[in-house]
Structure 1
């Protein structure tokens, strides 16, 4: 079986395939802040490590706080 290596920064299509979700779902959830990603002009980009952390976490908020590194101790 051939092993596929994904880049560190994923496109919308790569993230959709990785999560096995429709691209519309990934965009919608990213716009809501539920999936960590960035819109750069008209294109979405996702850090694979952030997606992996998000999948492992109980809360998408926890991943975002961890990635930013600020307000991590703030429960509000």
Structure 2
């Protein structure tokens, strides 16, 4: 990975951060634009301090990380069919009838 040392901090590009976090660059860009990941945009080019990313990772509990990753798939058209198949395999309805007779 072609990292550069600036002022003692590793600076990562969008693609380098995507490799580091093993996520698609689009997910990284969406998360940073939503303020969920620390980063800076300089004339439409994203840069990230590795130390800030490492601190962010340490602060995130597993539930928060999972929720952010799930959010990355909100626009995936295959999710409703997948969810329906999961509930069908479990033999349960997707919603429970909470009304009493």
TM normalised by structure 1 equals 0.67
Report which of the two structures shows the higher radius of gyration computed on alpha carbons. 2
Equivalent of residue 58 in structure 2, options 56, 59, 71: 56
CA distance in 2, matches of 1:58, 1:19: 13
Matched positions, count: 56
How far 1:42 sits from its partner (Å)? 1.4
Specify the alignment match of 1:64 in structure 2.
none
Q: Secondary structure at the match of 2:37?
A: coil
Equivalent of residue 20 in structure 1, options 22, 28, 36: 22
Specify the alignment match of 2:12 in structure 1.
10
Q: Secondary structure at the match of 1:21?
A: coil
Q: Secondary structure at the match of 1:55?
A: helix
- Where does structure 1 differ by over 6 angstroms across 4 or more consecutive aligned residues? none
TM normalised by structure 2 equals 0.51
Identify which of structures 1 and 2 has the higher relative contact order when contacts are C-alpha pairs closer than 8 Å and 6+ apart: 1
Change (3 A) 1:23 1:5: closer
* Structure 1: segments with no counterpart, 5+ residues: 60-76
